[in-house]
Structure 1
C-alpha cells in the first residue's frame, strides 16, 4: 500500500511539473505572438501604413494591395486619433481559418482606447511564416 501511495505521489508530481513546463512554453510562444502584433500595430499607430503592409505576411500582401491597405487605414484608423491604451484580452491559436490556407495562426483580441474612440476591440490575426516568424495576416477594428 505504501508503495502504491509513493508511486501515485511521484506521478502527481511529474504531471504537475510537466504541465507547468507546457504552460511556460505556451506563454513564451504567446509572448512572441503578442510582441510581434504590438510592434506591427505600433507601425499603424504611427501612421506608417505602407510599412505595416510591407511587414505583413506573404498571404496578407497577396490578398490586399498596398494601395488598398493604405487607403483603408487612412479612412478607418486615422480618424480614431492617437493610441491611448492597448491591452491583450484574448489569444487563441488555431490551425484553420475560413478562406485561409491551413497553418499556425494566433487570433488576438486587444482592448484598445483611441483619442476619438474608447472601448474598441482590435482583432489581429498573425500567422507563422515558413521562416518561423509571426507576421500579420488580418486586422479588424470594432
Structure 2
C-alpha cells in the first residue's frame, strides 16, 4: 500500500501538461472523473475487494488484493461514512514521479467523514492500454 500512497503523494510534486486543445483536455478529465467516481462508490460502500479488481494495472501491480483490503479497511473504518465530498481540483499529467509515463488525472476532493471534519482525498486515474480510465492511486490526507 505504501507504493500506491507514495505514488499519489508524489503526484503533488510534479506533473507535465501536454499541449492540446482545452476541449480535448476537458473531455479527458471528464472521462477520468467518471472512472474515479465509480471507483469511489465501491470504496465508500466497503466493497474493497471489488475496488481493487476495478483498479488499474499500475495499482494492482503495486499492492496485492489482500493487502489493499486490509489497509483500506483500517484507514477508512475510523473515519466513518462520507458526509460530503466536494471537488477541489483536477490536473492532467503525463509524467509523475515514481510512475511510468502515461496519461493521468490527479483529482482532489475536500471530504468530510462522520468522524473527521476535513480531509483531502486524492484519486489518480490513469489511461490504460485499452483506452479506458482506471484508478492508479488513492490517498487521504
Q: TM-score, normalised by structure 1?
A: 0.81
CA offsets 1:14-62 (integer angstroms, 9 cap, x no match):
xxxxxxxx43333222221111111101100000000000000111101
Task: Answer with 1 or 2: which has the greater Rg.
Answer: 1
1:24-63 equivalences under 5 Å are: 24-63=23-62
Q: Which runs of 5+ in 2 are unaligned?
A: 1-20
The aligned length equals 121
Name whichever structure is richer in helix by fraction.
1
Q: Which runs of 5+ in 1 are unaligned?
A: 1-21
Match of 1:66 in 2: 65
CA offsets 1:39-93 (integer angstroms, 9 cap, x no match):
1011000000000000001111011000110011111012211111112111111
Asked whether the equivalents of residues 47 and 78 of structure 1 are also in contact (C-alpha less than 8 Å), the reply is no
Q: TM-score, normalised by structure 2?
A: 0.82
* Aligned-partner Cα distance in 2 for 1:23–1:93: 11
Match of 1:105 in 2: 104
Match of 1:118 in 2: 117
1:34 is paired with a residue whose SS is helix
1:118 is paired with a residue whose SS is strand
Asked whether the equivalents of residues 43 and 49 of structure 1 are also in contact (C-alpha less than 8 Å), the reply is yes
